[in-house]
Amino acid sequence: MIRVVLPPHLRTLARVDGDVELEVNATVTQRSILDELENRYPMLRGTMRDHVTKLRRPLVRFFVCGEDLSHESPDAPLPQAIAEGSEPFVIIGAIAGG
Amino acid sequence: MSKVRVLVGTRKGAFILTADGARKRWKVKGPHFAGWEIYHVKGSAADPNRIYASQTSGWFGQIIQRSDDGGKKWSTPGSSAEELQSPDGMPKGESNKFVYDGIPGTHQWYDGTQHPWEFKRVWHLEPSLNDPEHVYAGVEDAALFESRDGGKSWNELSGLRKHDTGPKWQPGAGGMCLHTILLDPQDPRRIYIAISAAGAFRTDDAGQTWKPINHGLHSQYIPDPTAEVGHCVHRIAMHPSRPDTLFMQKHWDVMRSDDGGDSWREVSGNLPSDFGFPIDVHAHEPETIYVVPIKSDSEHYPPNSRLRVYRSRTGGNEWEALTKGLPQRNCYVNVLRDAMCVDSLEPCGIYFGTTGGQVYGSADGGDSWKPIVRDLPAVLSVEVQTLP
C-alpha cells in the first residue's frame, strides 16, 4: 500500500481527508503513482501535471524520504520505503507567495 | 416575489449574495472554493439552477466547477462521486482539459518576438441562451472553447485563433485573454468576442470563421493606431433587443457601433477619464449605459479618489456622475472588466465589485448605491441572476 500526501487544496478537490492509500500494480515510480492517483480521483487530472505532455506543473513538487525528486525522471523506481508505505509520497505546492 | 442571486468571483473564492426583489436585505454565502482564484461564475439563462464557475490557481491550474441546484452543491463535471460509480466506466476527468486544436502556433510577445500559445486559465464562461449543457469558455492565451456536455469536455473553435492576424495578437498587462463573449439572441450563428490586446471579432457561422471588427478604433499606444488588430478592448456590452448596437470600453475611449461592429465611433463625451474596464446596458433602456472611469492605465483607481459610476441615457457622449452611496474621498479601488452587471427587475438593478472587496448594488438604476458586502477578497467578476 502506497501512501500519498496531497496538498490541502487538492485534498479538498478530491474530497479526501488525510493521506490517500493506493495500490500500484507496476514498478513504483512517480509516473505509476500519479497514474493511479488520477485514475482514482479523475478531478485531479491536470492539477499536478499536464493532461497531454504529462510534465509536472512548475509550482508542484514531489518529495520522497525528505528529498525533492521533482527533477528526477518520472520513470525512475522510487525507494522501497515508498513501495512499502512506510514513507509517504508527498506532493506539495511550492511556497511562492499568493 | 422575484429574487436576485449575485454570483461573485474573487481572488480567494466565490460568494453568492441573495435577496428578494426589494434588494434591501442580503444573505452572503461562501467562500466556495476557498483560496482559489475564481475568475468568473455565471448561470444559464435556460436553467438558472445550472451555474458554471472558473476556478484557477498558479499552482494547480484550471478547474471547472458546476452546480445544478443554484449554487448549493458543486462538482467538477464528469468526476462527481456519483459518476465514479457509473456503469459506463471510469469518468474521464477532462472538464479542465483545454487543449488547443492542432499545432498552437505563436503570437506576438511583449518584446515583439513570437511566443507560443500556452493555455493558462479560463477568464469567462458564457452559457448558451437555450441549452444548459452548452457553454463557451474564453481563455488565456486567447482562444474560444465550447462544451456541449455540461462542461465535461471542451473543444476549441479554432477558426478564431487560426485567423490570419493571430501572429499579431499580443498580451495586455493582464495577459492575452479572451474576456468577452456576446451571443446574439436573434441569430444563434452570430457571436462577438473581445481579446486584450487583439480587439473585437465576430462570427456569423457559429464560430467556424471570424472577422476582426475594429474599424474606427484608434489606439495611440500601438505602432499603427488604426491597425486591423492590436487594440486593447476591455469590454463590450449589448442590449438583447438591439444586438447590432454594441458599446465598448476600450483601454482608453468608450466606443459605440450600430452595425454589428463593422464600424465604431467614440462616445466618451464628458467623462472625466475614458479609461476603464466594465461597461453595461440598462435592462429596459437600450440607450442607457454605465461605465466606471478610472484615472489612467498606470493609476488603476478613480479620478480624484472618488468612486463614481457614470450613466449616459443617450447611448453615450452625455454622461452624469452617480455618486449617492459611493465613497467620494480616499477611494483607490479598481473595478475589473467582468465585475459589473444588471438585473432585469423593475427598476433595473446594477451591481459592481471592486478590487477592495466591496460589492455595491443599486436598486434604482444607479441613482443610489449601497454596499451589499464590504470586505471580500479582491473582486474579479460579478454576475446576477433574476429569479422568479
* Single-letter amino acid, residue B294: I
Spatial distance between the Cα atoms of B351 and B19, rounded to a whole number of angstroms:
13
- Quick check: A43 and B99 CB within 8 A? no
- Quick check: A45 and B93 CB within 8 A? yes
> Which is it for strands B106-108 and B51-57: parallel, antiparallel or unpaired?
unpaired
Spatial distance between the Cα atoms of B387 and B49, rounded to a whole number of angstroms:
10
* Single-letter amino acid, residue A56: R
Spatial distance between the Cα atoms of B318 and B357, rounded to a whole number of angstroms:
30
The pLDDT tens digits along chain B (388 residues) read 799 999 999 999 999 999 999 999 999 999 999 999 999 999 999 999 999 999 999 999 999 999 999 999 999 998 866 666 556 667 788 999 999 999 999 999 999 999 999 999 999 999 999 999 999 999 999 999 999 999 999 999 999 999 999 999 999 888 999 999 999 999 999 999 999 999 999 999 999 999 999 999 999 988 899 999 999 999 999 999 999 999 999 999 999 999 999 999 999 999 999 999 999 999 999 999 999 999 999 999 999 999 999 999 999 999 999 999 999 999 999 999 999 999 999 999 999 999 999 999 999 999 999 999 999 999 999 999 999 9
B contact test, residue of A12, A13, A38, A60 with most B CBs within 10 A: A13
Instruction: Give the tens place of pLDDT for each residue, B211-242.
Output: 999 999 999 988 899 999 999 999 999 999 99
Task: Please identify which residue in the block is written with the cell numbers 487560426.
Answer: B162
- Quick check: B91 and A42 CB within 8 A? yes
Per-residue pLDDT, averaged over A46-70, amounts to 96
Residue of A nearest to B74 (CA): A13
pLDDT band at A98 (very low <50, low <70, confident <90, very high): low
Residues in A lying within 8 Å of B, measured between beta carbons: 7, 9-10, 13, 15, 38-39, 41-48, 51-52, 57, 59-60, 93-94, 96, 98
**% of residues, chain A, pLDDT over 70:** 97
- Quick check: A45 and B78 CB within 8 A? no
For the record, the C-alpha cell of B283 comes out as: 435592462
Spatial distance between the Cα atoms of A56 and A61, rounded to a whole number of angstroms:
8
- Read off φ and ψ for residue A31, nearest 5 degrees: -65, -45
Q: Which chain A residues contact residue B35 at CB under 8 A?
A: 9
Q: Mind telling me how many Å the CA of B32 is from chain A's nearest CA?
A: 11
ipTM of this predicted structure? 0.94
Spatial distance between the Cα atoms of A47 and A56, rounded to a whole number of angstroms:
9
Q: Which chain A residues contact residue B92 at CB under 8 A?
A: 42
Helix (H, G, I), strand (E, B) or coil at B63: strand
Structure confidence at residue B72 (pLDDT): 96
- Quick check: B59 and A39 CB within 8 A? no
For the record, the C-alpha cell of B100 comes out as: 488547443
Residue of B nearest to A56 (CA): B60
CA distances B276 to B122, B244, B279, B339, Å, are 22, 23, 8, 12
For residue A14, the surrounding DSSP H or E stretch is helix A8-14
Q: Which chain B residues contact residue A15 at CB under 8 A?
A: 81
